[in-house]
Structure 1
Amino acid sequence: MARAGLGSRRRCEELIEDGLVLVNGETADLGRRVDPEVDRIEVDGVAVSVRSGLVHYLLNKPAGVISTAADTHGRPTVVELVPAEPRVVPVGRLDADTEGLLLLTNDGDLTHRLTHPSFGVEKEYLAEVEGHPSRGALRRLREGVELDDGVTAPAQASLLAPNLLRLVIHEGRNRQVRRMCDAVGHPVVRLVRSRIGPLTDRTLKPGEWRVLDQAEVRALERAASASSTDGRPEGRR
């Protein structure tokens, strides 16, 4: 737990003594041995990744780069922009033309919680669109838009400039933001993801990446701490 950034060894002992630590759903006792590769550890209701060797990268994906580990057409991929070892995968996907923040990690548990639709982790996008969206178009985005795979969940939508939308969604449908904007009559010209849950970073230039610190990983874990139900993974934006 100390290695996972939850505090000093003494602080971690206090968390255990206070009954705030669960191992596989049972209250932990001081001195109990756990296998971080197998056992599920929760602190104050939030699952914690304590396995050794976990890495979490935040990348500012440029346009034209594919959100996959390999591409049969030889196009550049996001994994080529971060260290080759240990092997990581993108958490969800941004389509080739979409820019902005993307997580890459070898933390399978956190990846599942961030991409599973039941957790509803917010993603914020800045969309430059054709035309000038009206109040009616914003209202439709906020209330839900009819797409070919059903009505979208309500989104946060605001106008930052005559043709610049800020959209916050928590679903994971394929190319959802682009399809929503198409549905209200304002096709996307440029799309940038500016936030993933609590994470944002305006200092990263396109193609740059950095390692998340433990506080940021914990913030992501808290954002994705809701109970899970069956669902589909995050699609491309």
Structure 2
Amino acid sequence: MATRINKYLSEVGYCSRRVADRLVKEGKVTINGEISKIGAKVDEDDQVEVKGQRIEKLSKQKNIYLAFNKPVGIVCTTDTRVEPNNVIDFIKYPKRIFPIGRLDKPSEGLIFLTNDGNIVNKILRARNNHEKEYIVSVNRLISREFIKRMSNGVEILDTITRNCFVEKLGPKKFKIILTQGLNRQIRRMCQSLGYRVLSLKRVRIMNIKLDVPIGKYREFTKKELLELNLLLENSSKTFD
């Protein structure tokens, strides 16, 4: 049965469907020597290459799920040629994996890595309301007004952010739990209110908490994976 090229690349663990679409648009994917188009389908006997590298479908491939504590300065990309400080070169995992979502270069904390393309979109889609928790330090004393406005939504990127949970932890430190992932969202929210982020650490994604030292990773436990799959059971895989 023929499979769409973006689904094929995600199922073999090369990248997420979103990244696959980008690679196709950039003309970096070929099927039987011909440059692929968006929506092209692949049969079992077809030869698929990305950037000249042959992609094999591994029918008995074991799914890998890692929780990684990203240090400041490491970039969440699989393109090792573009960015020398990338997450793939940093952790040197023996099998091909890719990050689920992003955590910007100046930030640290929890990020997932996997070879399971099917789980990626379910976790990333904003409409699925999956929680991500952060600890943030800023350059000014935190006021009640700041907490209230952060909680009730801030205008950034031509939209109003969703209501979210915000708790003051110290004079210049707070916790925030988001269910959306706009580009550099927390930094932009703080900037809009006259604050500058000094440090930002993600400490939880859904049911999985950050519990490894900076620069280290671990596999999901069986219990975590079971709970995660239950949370994802009714999640949409389509883009917003």
**Mapping of 1:113-152 within 5 angstroms?**
113-152=122-161
Structure-1 separation of matches of 2:199 and 2:170: 14
Amino acid at match of 2:215: G
Deviation of 1:146 after TM superposition, in Å, equals 0.8
The answer on 1:94 being equivalent to 2:103 is yes
Amino acid at match of 1:155: C
Structure-2 separation of matches of 1:54 and 1:169: 27
**Equivalent residue pairs, number:** 181
The residue that corresponds to 1:206 in the other structure is: 214
Look up the SS of the partner of 2:200 in the other structure. Answer: strand
Look up the SS of the partner of 1:194 in the other structure. Answer: strand
TM-score by length of 1: 0.72
TM-score by length of 2: 0.71
Deviation of 1:229 after TM superposition, in Å, equals 7.2
Look up the SS of the partner of 2:208 in the other structure. Answer: coil
Q: Please, what is the CA RMSD of the aligned residues?
A: 1.7
**Mapping of 1:1-237 within 5 angstroms?**
52-202=61-211, 204-228=212-236, 230-232=238-240
Look up the SS of the partner of 1:127 in the other structure. Answer: strand
Name stretches of at least 5 consecutive residues in structure 2 with no aligned partner. Answer: 1-59
Amino acid at match of 1:66: V
Deviation of 1:71 after TM superposition, in Å, equals 4.1
Structure-2 separation of matches of 1:211 and 1:151: 36
Gap change, CA 1:112 and 1:127, over 3 Å in 2: same
Identity %: 30
Look up the SS of the partner of 2:147 in the other structure. Answer: helix
Name stretches of at least 5 consecutive residues in structure 1 with no aligned partner. Answer: 1-50, 233-237
